[in-house]
Amino acid sequence: MADRPRFGPAGVPPGFKALKATLMDVPRLLREEGLDAFEYQAVRWGAKPQIEKKDAEKFGVKAKENDVLLSLHASYFINFCGDKETIEASKARLVACATAAHWMQAQTVVFHPGFYGKKTPREAFASCFEALKDVVEKLKTLGVSHVKLGPETMGKPSQLGSLEEVLALCEKVEQAQPVIDWAHLHAREKGLFKTIEDFRRVVENIEKRLGTESVKNMHCHFTKVEFTEKGEKCHHTMDETGYGPDFPLLAKVIAEFKLNPVIISESPVLDVDAIKMREILIKELKGG
């Protein structure tokens, strides 16, 4: 739970790599930039954590020392809407990611629920719901109870992950928390966010469905995005004109509702745009 709006990158920024920084250096470097969140990328993991427990724990300590709130993005190879074998493998991957998140003291494990494939949206949702329930039960037996499972809103209409589906999963599954990817919602609906009211409507919907605490402490992804008829195509930087959504409009809604979201930048310039978003919100909170 964030005590204030927090900003950070999805993964290690390119500039840090140029400094030959290790993972353990990342929290300090983020803090030096004025950032206070980080989403560890476990996107290629299999059925076992690909980080040693002692290293994950050490990383968690470094993050805490620098007041950097951690989350973890789970494997891209998760599909809770596939065949039985695919679902079982996906459950193992999500458990592995949640276990590592627990070691790091990360708050949220972000994951992509899956593709509709040959199933109807209703069938795919039912399949995902049952799989997530199994994951929660497994995590309970492992003592992993404080880590939230975060189904992410997805950017293509072929993917399970509309706002309605994500909120419904979080209503039904204990330990689930929505991850609102504003770019994905924008692309999925072919340019959803045009006015402040469009952002406000999403925030009000989350509050109505999941309560004030859920909306106040939202976990979000943000970047500008290009899309086609098939949905999300590619990410763009904050400085590129002609693409949405517009972060200053979201900043107004964050200020209006007194929210404390974690906002993870997925821009091509990860930390650079996280800093820009932070500055926009600070200006808005001071009255524009």
Give the pLDDT confidence of 62-86 residue by residue, as tens digits. Answer: 999 999 999 999 999 999 999 999 9
Centroid of chain to Cα 244: 18
DSSP 236: E
pLDDT score for 2: 65
Q: What percent of the chain has pLDDT over 90?
A: 96
Q: How confident is the model at residue 190 (pLDDT cuts 50, 70, 90)?
A: very high
pLDDT score for 17: 84
Kind of pairing, strands 37-41 and 69-73? Answer: parallel
Which CATH superfamily groups domain 6-285?
A: Divalent-metal-dependent TIM barrel enzymes (3.20.20.150)
Domain segments of the chain: what residues?
6-285
For the stretch 183-215, what's the b/e string if a residue is b when 16 or more beta carbons lie within 10 angstroms of its beta carbon? bbbbbbbeebbeebebbbebbeebbebbeeebb
Q: Which of 13-22, 153-162, 263-272 has the lowest mean pLDDT?
A: 13-22
pLDDT score for 1: 62
Burial class for 119, CB neighbours closer than 10 Å (0-12, 13-18, 19+)? middle
Burial class for 64, CB neighbours closer than 10 Å (0-12, 13-18, 19+)? middle
Across the chain, mean pLDDT equals 96
Q: What percent of the chain has pLDDT over 70?
A: 99
pLDDT at 147 over 90: yes
- What would the two tokens of residue 150 be? 């975060």
- 63, 241, 283, 284 from 37: Cα distances, Å: 9, 26, 19, 20
pLDDT at 288 over 90: no
d(CA 112, CA 123): 17
Q: How confident is the model at residue 18 (pLDDT cuts 50, 70, 90)?
A: confident
